[in-house]
A = this chain, B = another copy of it.
Amino acid sequence: MNKEEQIMKDFRDLFNKIMWLDSFKMKISLKNYNPSEIHCIEYIGQNADSNVTKLAEYFYMTRSAISKLTKKLIEKGLIESYQKPDNKKEIYFRLTEQGKAINKVHEKLHEESQERDKAVFEKVSEEQFDIMLSFAEKYNRHLDAEIEKLGVDITSGFMVGIWMQK
């Protein structure tokens, strides 16, 4: 395996493990909610006037999936929908008090994860950070251009399954 492959494999493993650990913790603290629900709540909590389409774009999921997800969150009383007087099509979401409470618990877990991995990041110098950031940004721009070339809407359903939550 060459260095390019090695690096991508290592980072993939990294994210798989992080996801595994995060969902492990979440299944203990937030038994009745799955990761998708939690991340959806998180996004709605942070972004005013979230709607199905914005959520779909953010999570690389279909509008269909988000539509069902938000419906469930409404039924569970975690979010509520509202509309604007001048638009009868778009439906926005905001957190209920109960949703905000869940969000707090999740934020706490997030902080714990940061604390857990603090030791690793402390040993990374500014310069090393910048090298990695620069690489990731360049690679991202390159891929954006490649996706652009195809001229396809990324939420129109060319998906594999659950994507990595942002």
Contact = CB atoms under 8 A, between A and B. Distances in A.
Is chain A's binding surface mostly helix, strand, loop or mixed? helix
Contact of A124 (B16, B135, B164): B135
Contacts of A164: 12, 15-16, 164
A32 interface: no
A7 B143 contact: no
Classify chain A: how many residues form its interface, as a range: 35 or more
Interface string A107-139: 000000010110111011000110111011111
Contacts of A12: 15, 164, 166
Given A4-B121, A13-B140, A160-B162, A20 B135 contact: no
Contact of A159 (B3, B23, B60, B138): B23
A133 B3 contact: yes
28 contacts: A3-B133, A4-B114, A4-B121, A7-B129, A10-B136, A10-B137, A11-B11, A12-B166, A13-B140, A14-B140, A14-B143, A17-B147, A18-B143, A19-B163, A20-B158, A21-B146, A21-B147, A23-B158, A23-B159, A24-B158, A117-B139, A117-B142, A117-B143, A120-B135, A131-B132, A132-B132, A161-B161, A161-B162
